[in-house]
Structure 1
Amino acid sequence: MFSKFRLIPALVAMAFLISSCGSNAPKEARFIPKDASAVLIVDPKNMEDKLEKSGISMDTLINHLFKRNAMDTTERSMFQSIKDSAGMDWSNKVFLFALQNGNANTGKSTAVNLIMGLKSGSEFEAFLKRQPSLGTKKIQKEKDYTYLVTSPESMIAWDDKNVIGTFYQNEVKPYYDTVAMKFVVPEKGNSDSAMRAEVNKYFTQKKDASLASVDAFSKMFKTNADGYAFASTNSYLNVLSAMPLQLPKLEELVKDNYMAATLSFEEGKIVATTTTFTNPFVSNLLKKYAGPTVNLSLLEHYPSENINMIMMASFNPAIFGGILKELEVEGLVNSFMDKTGFSAQDLYKTLKGDIAVVVSDLGMPGKEIGVKNDSTISVSRKPIGKMIFTAPVGDTASFAKIMNKAVELGYFSKQGNTYKISSKIPSLGLYMQADDKNLIMASDSLTYAQYVSNKSKAVVGNDALNLFKGKSTVAYFDITNTIKGFMNSTGSNYQNSMSSAKNILKDVIATTDNFEDGAVKGKMEIRLNNEKQNSLATLTGLFTDIAVDMRMAAKKESEQSMFPSGVPAIIRTN
């Protein structure tokens, strides 16, 4: 059981279900190296309280977690054993973090770790010793912790207050031997030894080597939330060292940028807030090349009342030149581009810095039925919908220089001041046209004509538009109507889940602000149709339907593999 960590989902679920009040101080941060690529945290107590206030008991959720059959009875018994007699402290936050070492050229190792609280390390050890699945595996002790290697790629380590479950993979990459003229696969290192060394680091590292020393990580816990996420660009430094071309100051650009996020289940919506803390190098660039806010006029005349998705961004194109200058590679890039007849500056000056993508009327057309030789056949269908990508032109001289070069190469044709994609070039089914004012791609020529006529009026709720105003990027996704468009085309396996999702989920709105006070802030709302009930309680119904559909699909797949011609009626009826 523990050799495969099969109960980790159950452990996380239990942390959601049963817990008592606990401190917000992230003492577990001392275990997490500061170069961890990602950290996810959940606060089970907050979630439990919200469910209880909505009238959902723990017993009800546990009953939904397990089916009534022999296999689930066994696993439920183990679940209860872990809950009651494994020495676990369910008041603690649950931490999941990942690290990567090495690089793509020489091979890399990946460690994924789960941290949970303990009331008693000795009680947890006694629980492990009672598990027959561990067989003769030996529990070993170090100065600061005790551990058990459960497989060549997994182990459990604990002290008196915390337990860490680790999954470890060590990958090697073939290289080309120029003497032997063949690819060679290096011998895989001792994963067991490397895994033990990795876990030893968690328990013995000093504070300044851990996330406990990173202010951005600690500050995020000042906000009371149900979940947290943290990411760092420091994990990419190993990749930079393996690049064949070492760019000056690239490490200054990448290192010590952090993203901290909180997640809260509120009445009628799930709210996530993000704060990206940038290093001085990046901060100076963002200050110097501050961008405008999204141009909502690009959306105004979109020709549809059934918008499924919107993505908009606004930026100062000169920031690309600023990055090249600060990295001291502008001359190098321009030397590569000499033969093209234009410079890097011509490229980034081409567009004004406003971009909008709108998708609408998504769905699956009705079945086309044809009759041939007295037999009915169903013709395959493809999704339908409309789309516009629009980007206003910036410097007209730079734009003309690049587009005229594209005409010379046969990619576009030119009629007056208008450029159209060449019939010789595959257009992926898109219609594209550009002039000295706009570059526009459309799903078809009719949608393009309707959009540029400025006679249509896009239908977007004022509540969403108000959230778009003053933002540097926005994204919108209408969940209800998108699911409705595909409801009858997904087959029968997940119809309950699709119907439940359509009735529960409304839309998603995500926005980011421009750089201010040393950070870039963002917000995402997943809005639900039931605005009065807490969103976590509302979602339990969706999760239940998904679980039922998954079990039914698995049962159907099992029956089909056992009886390819169909389940005999006598078995089905009995």
Structure 2
Amino acid sequence: MFSKFRLIPALVALAFLISSCGSNAPKEARFIPKDASAVLVVDPKNMEEKLEKSGISMDTLINRLFKRNGMDTTEKSMFQSIKDSAGMDWTNKVFLFALQNGNANTGKSTAVNLIMGLKSGSDFEAFLKRQSGLGTKQVEKEKDYSFLVTSSESMIAWDDHNVIGTFYQNEVKPYYDTVAMKFVVPEKGNTDSAMRAEVKRYFTQKKDASLASVDAFSKMFKTNADGYAFASTNSYLNVLSAMPLQLPKLEELVKDNYMAATLSFEEGKIVATTTTFTNPFVSNLLKRYAGPTVNLSLLEHYPSENINMIMMASFNPAIFGGILKELEVEGVVNSFMDKTGFSAQDLYKTLKGDIAVVVSDLGMPGKEIGVKNDSTISVSRNPIGKMIFIAPVGDTASFAKIMTKAVELGYFSKQGNTYKISSKIPSLGLYMHADEKNLIVASDSLTYLQYVSNKSKAVVGNDALNLFKGKSTVAYFDIANTIKGFMNSTGSNYQNSMSSAKNILKDVIATTDNFEDGAIKGKMEIRLNNEKQNSLATLTGLFTDIAVDMRMAAKKESEQSMFPAGVPAIIRTN
């Protein structure tokens, strides 16, 4: 008797093990081919629950989106009809995925697909038949699904549980006929039959041909989130096969690298996490040439209290040499570069591996008004701001070789131990100073002098700086201050949206770690000014203003089209 009870813990442990090892991929994964280049997933149920906790129902949200549009109820009525009587299952995740076949030399096809859940396939079919816009188009049947071709480049297919909407494009590339001595544009293939075959593949493919068999895709759904994203490098293999020069191990470098990301609406911020899974070839390179972390001292003395954007990266330059060696092309590259006077090694050893870009004080100056030949008035404004790009020098001998060659070619001039942009080369208004310590490009000479004086102090929040520490790459963007700098200087139709965005959105911080445990992990936070409310609920106000502004802009454009073009004294903003 007791021996039977002793088996219970073992059986429970076994059941737990089986369940934990099982696939976490949603059932819709069986429709998505393994060679899909990108997949986006949204969980409407999760998002609806978060809105309801904040006191916002779906009906309230729909009414907000269509507010100030009482004269036109057609779109709102259609929206409600799809929501309530099309047989849709809004508790299911929504999938958007894209595929590309062919290559740049022979032409390529692109398919963009949307998968949604159904409560009833028959209700969905009845809904389609009620739509006058589909005219006389007929529903066709296959063994496992029904479908309706809505145009030469789009169709809808469904079974009892899912519907897939497909947009399909077939591109052809002209080729040169050496006999006729002219370019020839090939005839397009039968797009309709190709599109039907592509959709049939989704419904009939085996599991091992779909993303349901890819562990990196399945593991992504272990995390409860509001949205997911997945990308694969396998879609580039077709492009590689068409390259005129076939590198020995390039396919090993490219294939089976995956990026999985989750997105969640939290209180006061939107959080996205990314994990990049690399194949053994890439993993070995990243282990062997592990990089340092960002050098925050490059940011410390930036001369501004109004920073708009920061981008920093730190890496081991020797990884470029490692890639050339592993691809077995180092000798080919060096022989190609013999005439330059330096080697590939000189090229990547030039920089230390720390890079920083800082942009600040963005805005618009006053108006510059001019009269064009057609008597119309032109109002032009060019953005202003400050910028520093800095990259510390690595091997000074290699740097001297590269810069000496650049001076010979007329790109730079040498003054003592420093290099500057040659007067023969348009500098785009930028100022450059390079020496044996740093390569610095600035928006102007004053910004450069203020930066190198080390007397200024960049104003960056400690919360952001703490997130930067120990990372291999960082990015920062001050949304509110940037919008503020441009908001009142344009005649945009989206002033309400811009004002809402300025009041709602604060900034964006993104970071990535160095390679560890077989993956590269990253994180991005979009921070909002209201730290107490769920970010999705807060954003509904912005969505509402964008929807209203879009409708008002469309109405304004429609009214303007009633007047003849070329009316004198029309003010145009460039």
TM norm structure 1: 0.92
Deviations along 1:441-472, one digit per CA (max 9) or x if unpaired, are: 00011111111111111110000000000000
Q: 1:21 to 1:76 in 2, by over 3 A?
A: farther
Q: 1:573 to 1:190 in 2, by over 3 A?
A: closer
Query: Contact 1:40/1:229 (CA < 8 Å) preserved in 2?
Result: yes
1:135 CA displacement = 2.8
Identity of aligned residues (%): 94
2:248 and 2:470 map into 1 onto residues whose CA distance is 35
1:24 CA displacement = 7.3
Q: 1:435 to 1:486 in 2, by over 3 A?
A: same
Query: Contact 1:233/1:256 (CA < 8 Å) preserved in 2?
Result: yes
1:564 and 1:405 map into 2 onto residues whose CA distance is 58
Query: Contact 1:19/1:90 (CA < 8 Å) preserved in 2?
Result: no
Query: Contact 1:468/1:511 (CA < 8 Å) preserved in 2?
Result: yes
Structure 1 unaligned blocks of 5 or more: none
Query: Contact 2:377/2:570 (CA < 8 Å) preserved in 1?
Result: no
Q: 1:420 to 1:2 in 2, by over 3 A?
A: farther
Q: 1:371 to 1:203 in 2, by over 3 A?
A: closer
My pick for the range that moved more, 549-558 or 13-22, is: 13-22
Deviations along 1:83-121, one digit per CA (max 9) or x if unpaired, are: 333222111100010000001111100101111111222
Q: 1:414 to 1:454 in 2, by over 3 A?
A: same
Deviations along 1:401-428, one digit per CA (max 9) or x if unpaired, are: 1111111222212122111111111111
Deviations along 1:453-502, one digit per CA (max 9) or x if unpaired, are: 11111110000000000000000001111111111112152211111111
My pick for the range that moved more, 521-530 or 64-73, is: 64-73
2:208 and 2:571 map into 1 onto residues whose CA distance is 65
Q: 1:566 to 1:189 in 2, by over 3 A?
A: closer
Deviations along 1:111-167, one digit per CA (max 9) or x if unpaired, are: 011111112222222332333333332222212111111111111111111111111
SS in structure 2 of the partner of residue 150 of structure 1? strand
SS in structure 1 of the partner of residue 470 of structure 2? coil
Query: Contact 1:303/1:456 (CA < 8 Å) preserved in 2?
Result: yes
Alignment of 1:372 onto 2:372? yes
In the alignment, what sits opposite 2:222? 222
Query: Contact 2:23/2:218 (CA < 8 Å) preserved in 1?
Result: no
Q: 1:398 to 1:219 in 2, by over 3 A?
A: same
Q: 1:22 to 1:255 in 2, by over 3 A?
A: closer
Query: Contact 1:430/1:443 (CA < 8 Å) preserved in 2?
Result: yes
1:4 CA displacement = 64
Q: 1:124 to 1:554 in 2, by over 3 A?
A: closer
Deviations along 1:523-557, one digit per CA (max 9) or x if unpaired, are: 00000111111111111111111122222222222
Query: Contact 1:14/1:83 (CA < 8 Å) preserved in 2?
Result: no
Deviations along 1:288-323, one digit per CA (max 9) or x if unpaired, are: 000000000000011111111000000000000000
SS in structure 2 of the partner of residue 352 of structure 1? coil
2:387 and 2:280 map into 1 onto residues whose CA distance is 39
Q: 1:16 to 1:384 in 2, by over 3 A?
A: farther
Query: Contact 2:369/2:380 (CA < 8 Å) preserved in 1?
Result: no
My pick for the range that moved more, 439-448 or 22-31, is: 22-31
1:362 and 1:7 map into 2 onto residues whose CA distance is 70
1:9 CA displacement = 50
Deviations along 1:212-255, one digit per CA (max 9) or x if unpaired, are: 00000000000000000000000001101111111111001100
SS in structure 2 of the partner of residue 72 of structure 1? coil
1:49 and 1:224 map into 2 onto residues whose CA distance is 13
Query: Contact 1:176/1:183 (CA < 8 Å) preserved in 2?
Result: yes
Q: 1:490 to 1:370 in 2, by over 3 A?
A: closer
Alignment of 1:87 onto 2:82? no
TM norm structure 2: 0.92
Q: 1:202 to 1:471 in 2, by over 3 A?
A: same
SS in structure 2 of the partner of residue 88 of structure 1? coil
Query: Contact 1:560/1:567 (CA < 8 Å) preserved in 2?
Result: no
Within a 5 Å distance, the mapping from 1:377-396 to structure 2 comes to 380-396=380-396
1:80 CA displacement = 2.9
1:76 and 1:388 map into 2 onto residues whose CA distance is 49
SS in structure 2 of the partner of residue 247 of structure 1? coil
1:220 and 1:19 map into 2 onto residues whose CA distance is 16
1:20 CA displacement = 25
1:436 CA displacement = 0.5
In the alignment, what sits opposite 1:45? 45
1:81 CA displacement = 2.9
SS in structure 2 of the partner of residue 133 of structure 1? helix
1:216 and 1:168 map into 2 onto residues whose CA distance is 27
My pick for the range that moved more, 65-74 or 162-171, is: 65-74
1:15 CA displacement = 34
Q: 1:439 to 1:571 in 2, by over 3 A?
A: closer
Query: Contact 2:274/2:521 (CA < 8 Å) preserved in 1?
Result: yes
Deviations along 1:495-514, one digit per CA (max 9) or x if unpaired, are: 11111111111000000000
1:570 CA displacement = 21
Q: 1:325 to 1:563 in 2, by over 3 A?
A: same
Query: Contact 1:17/1:58 (CA < 8 Å) preserved in 2?
Result: no
1:112 and 1:174 map into 2 onto residues whose CA distance is 24
Q: 1:568 to 1:368 in 2, by over 3 A?
A: closer
2:244 and 2:540 map into 1 onto residues whose CA distance is 50
1:86 and 1:325 map into 2 onto residues whose CA distance is 58
Structure 2 unaligned blocks of 5 or more: none
1:372 and 1:120 map into 2 onto residues whose CA distance is 61
Q: 1:500 to 1:357 in 2, by over 3 A?
A: same
1:439 CA displacement = 0.4
Deviations along 1:52-87, one digit per CA (max 9) or x if unpaired, are: 111112221111233576884233333333333322
My pick for the range that moved more, 94-103 or 403-412, is: 403-412
1:114 and 1:176 map into 2 onto residues whose CA distance is 37
2:7 and 2:193 map into 1 onto residues whose CA distance is 25
Query: Contact 1:559/1:567 (CA < 8 Å) preserved in 2?
Result: no
Q: 1:30 to 1:135 in 2, by over 3 A?
A: same
Q: 1:6 to 1:391 in 2, by over 3 A?
A: farther
Q: 1:102 to 1:3 in 2, by over 3 A?
A: farther
Q: 1:24 to 1:528 in 2, by over 3 A?
A: farther
My pick for the range that moved more, 74-83 or 390-399, is: 74-83
1:23 CA displacement = 13
1:231 and 1:354 map into 2 onto residues whose CA distance is 28
My pick for the range that moved more, 429-438 or 52-61, is: 52-61
Q: 1:26 to 1:102 in 2, by over 3 A?
A: same
1:558 CA displacement = 1.7
My pick for the range that moved more, 329-338 or 562-571, is: 562-571
Q: 1:326 to 1:440 in 2, by over 3 A?
A: same
SS in structure 2 of the partner of residue 563 of structure 1? coil
1:554 and 1:345 map into 2 onto residues whose CA distance is 56
In the alignment, what sits opposite 1:518? 518
In the alignment, what sits opposite 2:424? 424
1:432 CA displacement = 0.4
1:397 and 1:23 map into 2 onto residues whose CA distance is 55
1:160 and 1:5 map into 2 onto residues whose CA distance is 44
Deviations along 1:242-279, one digit per CA (max 9) or x if unpaired, are: 11111111001100000000000111110000000000
Query: Contact 1:15/1:44 (CA < 8 Å) preserved in 2?
Result: no
1:346 and 1:568 map into 2 onto residues whose CA distance is 60
My pick for the range that moved more, 112-121 or 134-143, is: 134-143
SS in structure 2 of the partner of residue 298 of structure 1? helix
1:59 and 1:4 map into 2 onto residues whose CA distance is 55
Deviations along 1:320-367, one digit per CA (max 9) or x if unpaired, are: 000000001111111110000000000000000000000011111234
My pick for the range that moved more, 194-203 or 68-77, is: 68-77
